[in-house]
Structure 1
Amino acid sequence: MGLGDIALNTKKEESYVLINNAKIFDGINEKLIVGNLLIKGGKIAKISTSKIDAPKGAKVIDAGGKFLMPGLSDAHWHVMFAAAPISAANLPDPGLFYADAVAEARRTVLRGFTTVRDMAGSVFGLKVAIDSKAIPGPRIFPSGAFISQTSGHGDFSPAYEKSPTLGGDRGHLEKLGEFTVANGVPEVLAAVRDNLKKGASQIKIGVSGGAISDFDPLDSTQFNDDEIRAAVGAAADWGTYVCSHVYHPRGIKRALKNGVKSIEHGQLADEEAVKLIAKNDAWLSIQAFSSKTLPKGTVIPEKSKPLFEQWEHVVKWAIRDKAKFAYGTDILFSPQFTPYQNKMLTVFADVLSPLEFMRLATSNNAKLFELSGPRNPYKEAKLGVLREGAWADMILVDGDPFKDPNVLSEYEDKFIIIIKDGDIYKNMLA
């Protein structure tokens, strides 16, 4: 396998890439365009079924009739946490923690994920480094520190330590900017505004218990109405929205009642909760927690077991009720699972039509990302589609995912070319 040059440091001026003889899926329509695509700088300049003359100095690629599609996106990724074992996150020196994140950013884009919505963590510096092409990685929609109540899903301080609200010290991960514990409206407002100050494109709060946190049972409901409304109002003042970590119906209903627009997870939702997601014009950002998507022999922790094998019927309810839903993975502190990011996408083909499946991690996810409005860091052009004027993020695939969705999980062998922002990150034809 050959890796193409990874662009570093300096944006290429007026560089061109011409891809000839491709079967182009534009991210929306089932009918493929058999033709050619010209990239100028970081955007798509032209798509045509007729010959496109190669500009002077253009890199010309013969796709050989292969399948060209938009780059993939993950609506619930953890840039800082995915590849870091919890032991690395708790070392006195966070150097290894950050090194893991940098290495995983490169691996993420080489799996074909050219955009991610980051759902917790201090990723702002890493995002700048990626966007400036100092290091390879996906586009990032950052949430900043995950905001949790004391004893909530984002409270990783030891039980003997008092809450910061009661005069206790903040935990190690809080001090690194990965989480913020906030209690009451003033603290929630401050936490949201602090994330927005740093460049968050959306805000994430915890409204139910979590699988990896120590002190909150899954069935617990977190943040009261006033606290959630405060977060939503502060985000709205900046033209953006709030996502909530939440699994169960009570938490989903509380979040929606108070203006949350993206329900993260929802595996324990009931039919009424899914109907409310649709009624409130909100999104369900769900993950395929299933033994099908994990390495053989994986032991599922006891606390996580209720969340597994639940996603399919929730997605079927969402389809029935016309609720908007997005694909994400939520891999954190589990480096052994990151290679399965693509597999967590392809299992959606079991419940979606081929076209719905192909839109899911392309144009569909991109619609969710657009909720960040003026805080969208990539609003200059469209994501998730191959059309003139859109960002030049794409994958040349050896195979037809409409006919065999599993080719999208065989990224090492089947992703022949990966392009992000007009730069070639992988080229097996070189």
Structure 2
Amino acid sequence: MRTFALLALLSPLSLATAQTAPPPAPTALHCGQLFDARSGKVLGPHTLLVKDGRIERIVSGGNADVAGVASIDLRDRTCSPGWTDLHVHIYDQSSPQTYSEGFRLDPVDYAYRSVGYAQKTLRAGFTSVRDLGGEVTPHLRDAINQGLVDGPRIWAAGTSIGTTGGHADPTNGYNHALSHLIGPPGPTEGVINSVDDARQAVRQRYKEGSDVIKITATGGVLSYAKSGDAPQFTVDEIRAVVDTANDYGYRVAAHAHGEEGMYRAVEAGVTSIEHGTYMSDRVMKLMKEKGTWYVPTIYAGRFVADKAKVDGYFPEVVRPKAARIGALIQDTAAKAYRNGVPIAFGTDMGVGPHGDNAREFIYMVEAGIPAAVALQSATVRAAEVLGVDDQGVLEPGKRADVIAMPGNPVEDINAVMDVDFVMKDGRVYRRPGDDADAE
């Protein structure tokens, strides 16, 4: 009781002392070209007037006279809506030490690391992210919203929901003594084995302040378990997650590599399938019928396939899964696009190095997805997945999330790696000439 009383006293104090930055001054952005996310076309010169964190108006012509406001010259650059990465894990980053660090580091260690990762992600042009599994991320989200640290706007899942021994079971790989000491994880820890457990797990995420629900519908590549694709929920369990999530206004993202688990997740009504490695014609047909989004995460697949060749990078139980499954995701993305499955942008960053997220665009184009469609997947389409209508496009009344880069990314997708201007909610976080590695 003393602990609860202390927290009750400290929480108002913490909120009262949080510093909120003053609103940014009105600004005119003079853009040489403008990526129109709705049409997928690059338009000619335009000037964007930004005020109170929103786009107030847009004037044709990059030299438009906007009196009384500060001007930023981007006439030799292409302006675009800020990008959204729908699948990140911003609290960590893969390394050969990842598995041992889980036993040595505290949440505060991951929290400190996440600050730098968030800054790198924002400076790379990603003004929003959906974090699909990370206990410290809701706190990072709050710190960013309060102006205490710089980073993208975050939709945080918090703890992922899985089944006993499944991809999200936090005790996988523990020895018998440690497992006995800790005891079996349950819905509070995100592990379920029934319909009632499923409801409780979603309600626990609500209690903890999550923005979205993430389930692991099949085995995974990097978990300390043998199967990377076996189904790990019943349809009734997933449906209980989805129905309960709907009660709280949540959308549900489903990690899935295997065909059967993927089909069950789509049938039960999830919003998106993440990875989708063994996606079949049967699954694609159902996804199109139900309007289920596909978030390929090609970057993660290629990264783990490459690292599987390095002795000691992954535990031996993980290595064959990484080699087999990772290499297939790019081909799956190509097949899904050809078959008309709705695709949105996500990298699974945290598997690879934060700040390199835009490389996913290049891999999407290599898979046969047109550059304009790839760019739409991280702008207007990503906003649809999130269920928001105030971002993802450059239009009056929308959030002033604006990025710019030399070159035309529709003509040459490699331009996405050269973002050197970033504005989020009307505040500039990066300007041309800044050190690319600055944080």
Q: Aligning the two structures, in what range does the TM-score lie when normalised by the shorter sequence?
A: 0.7 to 0.9
Contact 1:278 1:322 in 2 (8 A): yes
Residue aligning to 1:423: 427
Give a deviation string over 1:374-425, Cα, whole Å, max 9, x none. xxxxx5x52111111111111111111111101212xxxx322111111111
Please say which of residues 270-279 and 286-295 is displaced more in the overlay. Answer: 286-295
Verify: 1:200 aligned to 2:204, yes or no: no
Size of the alignment, in residue pairs?
402
Change (3 A) 1:161 1:223: farther
Change (3 A) 1:288 1:393: same
Residue aligning to 2:437: none
Verify: 1:70 aligned to 2:117, yes or no: no
Q: Displacement of 1:234 after TM fit?
A: 0.3
Give a deviation string over 1:20-69, Cα, whole Å, max 9, x none. 2431112222141422111112111111115655353x321111232111
Contact 1:22 1:63 in 2 (8 A): yes
Contact 2:81 2:379 in 1 (8 A): yes
Give a deviation string over 1:241-276, Cα, whole Å, max 9, x none. 222111111111111222222111101112221122
Structure 1 runs (4+) deviating above 3 angstroms are 50-56, 82-89, 158-164, 289-298
Q: Counterparts of 1:279 and 1:255 in 2: how far apart (Å)?
A: 14
Change (3 A) 1:290 1:149: closer
Contact 1:208 1:222 in 2 (8 A): yes
Residue aligning to 1:82: 93
- SS of 1:62's equivalent in the other structure is strand
Change (3 A) 1:202 1:92: closer
Change (3 A) 1:317 1:297: closer
Please say which of residues 139-148 and 298-307 is displaced more in the overlay. Answer: 298-307
Alignment of 1:244-283 (within 5 A): 244-283=254-293
Change (3 A) 1:291 1:226: closer
Q: Which residue of 214, 228, 231 maps to 2:224? A: 214
Verify: 1:356 aligned to 2:373, yes or no: yes
Q: Which amino acid aligns with 1:69?
A: S
- SS of 2:422's equivalent in the other structure is strand
Q: Counterparts of 1:349 and 1:151 in 2: how far apart (Å)?
A: 36
TM-score, normalising length from structure 2?
0.83
Residue aligning to 1:138: 152
Residue aligning to 2:415: 407
Q: Displacement of 1:161 after TM fit?
A: 4.9
Q: Which residue of 386, 389, 410 maps to 1:369? A: 386
Q: Counterparts of 1:109 and 1:28 in 2: how far apart (Å)?
A: 23
Q: CA RMSD in A?
A: 2.8
Alignment gaps of 5+ in structure 1: 1-7, 371-378
Contact 1:163 1:170 in 2 (8 A): no
Q: Counterparts of 1:163 and 1:251 in 2: how far apart (Å)?
A: 30
Q: Counterparts of 1:230 and 1:202 in 2: how far apart (Å)?
A: 15
Change (3 A) 1:315 1:297: closer
Please say which of residues 24-33 and 38-47 is displaced more in the overlay. Answer: 24-33
Q: Which residue of 16, 32, 50 maps to 2:26? A: 16
Change (3 A) 1:146 1:60: same
Give a deviation string over 1:336-394, Cα, whole Å, max 9, x none. 63343221222111211232122121112221111xxxxxxxx5x52111111111111
Percent identity reads 27
Verify: 1:61 aligned to 2:79, yes or no: no
Contact 1:153 1:216 in 2 (8 A): no
- The structure showing larger relative contact order (alpha-carbon pairs under 8 Å, at least 6 residues apart) is 1
Q: Counterparts of 2:327 and 2:433 in 1: how far apart (Å)?
A: 39
Q: Which amino acid aligns with 2:292?
A: A
Q: Displacement of 1:145 after TM fit?
A: 0.8
Please say which of residues 267-276 and 155-164 is displaced more in the overlay. Answer: 155-164
